[in-house]
Structure formats: C-alpha cells, structure tokens
Amino acid sequence: MIIVDGYNFLYAAFGIEHRLPIKDMEAARIRLQGYLARYQNITHERVMVIYDARGGAQLPNEDYAGLEVVYAPPRSDADDHIVRRVKADARPAEITVVTTDRELAERVEAAGGRVVRSGVFYERMQEAFERGLHSPEDKSYEKPARPDPEEVDYFLREFGDGT
C-alpha cells in the first residue's frame, strides 16, 4: 500500500512550493487525485491520499475513481493520521509513505513503514504513465504515423475535402 502525504506531495512534486501560490486548492487536489488514481489503475498498487484538516469542519472521506481520499480530523494533521495508520497495520513494512517531510519520514520508519520522497514517487508515476496499461512489446495502442488510404477516403466522404 502507498499512502501519500497529500498537501506535502502536492507542493513538492508539482514544483509549486515557494514558486506559485495555489489559487484553487480544490482544483489542485482533484488534479492530484486524478494522477494518483491513474497510477493506481496502471500499477494495481493500492493508493491512499491523506490531507491535513482544513478549517473547522470535518470533510468526508471519499472514493475518487478507486483512490481512497482521507481528510484528517479537525485539530489533527495528516502526519499524525499517517503514523497511526502505519502503526495499526499488521504489516507496516508493506506500507510506503510518500512525503518530503523529514520528521514524518522518521516517525513512519520508526513505526516500521517505508518512505519514498515525493520527487522520486512523482518520477515513478511519470514512468508508469509512459508505460501505460500495455506491455513494452505491445505497440498496437500507438497511433500510426499516417492514416491508411481507406481512412482518408472515409474522412473525405464524411467531412468533405475542405474546398
């Protein structure tokens, strides 16, 4: 299982920390969740993202395209929630936490979990996206360089020749 320190990964992996403010946090979360759900789909690794509590109200946990999305309770943070999950697991060594937070990394390792830095995991995601759902030998999903003559005839019949 992979547990992603949500806001930490959002800022670190997308390169926006200290450079660009996030104007629409919900849109940023949805973008991140889309990436994580896609990664989970391709690799078949179970992924969970945990976000810090924001504001006073408890946001409901949700399923986003098969991705488990968890919001830490108010007056709590994602770090404590992540460490509790690692400690409570029967096989903590099978949990990998994605974060650049050094203190959280130390706590996760002390609880028996593994840690991967956000930038490294982001690169793994990109590699998985490049491989996609297909084996490296399977090129059938690739777009051909040029349409075949039958396709050209079909499109000309359907859409005209542009004159």
pLDDT in tens, 66-105: 999 999 888 788 999 999 999 999 999 999 999 999 999 9
Mean pLDDT value of segment 129-149: 57
Over residues 43-72, mean pLDDT:
87
Residue 37 scores a pLDDT above 80: yes
pLDDT surpasses 80 at 14: no
How far, in Å, CA of 122 to CA of 26, rounded?
A: 20
**What pTM was computed for the model?**
0.76
Answer whether residue 47 shows pLDDT above 90. yes
Query: What would the DSSP string read from start to end of 89-152?
Result: SS-GGG-EEE---HHHHHHHHHTT-EEE-HHHHHHHHHHHHHHTTS-TT--TTSPPSS--HHHH
Confidence of residue 142 (pLDDT cuts 50, 70, 90): very low
* pLDDT band for position 59 (cuts 50, 70, 90): confident
Highest mean pLDDT among 22-31, 52-61, 70-79, 150-159: 70-79
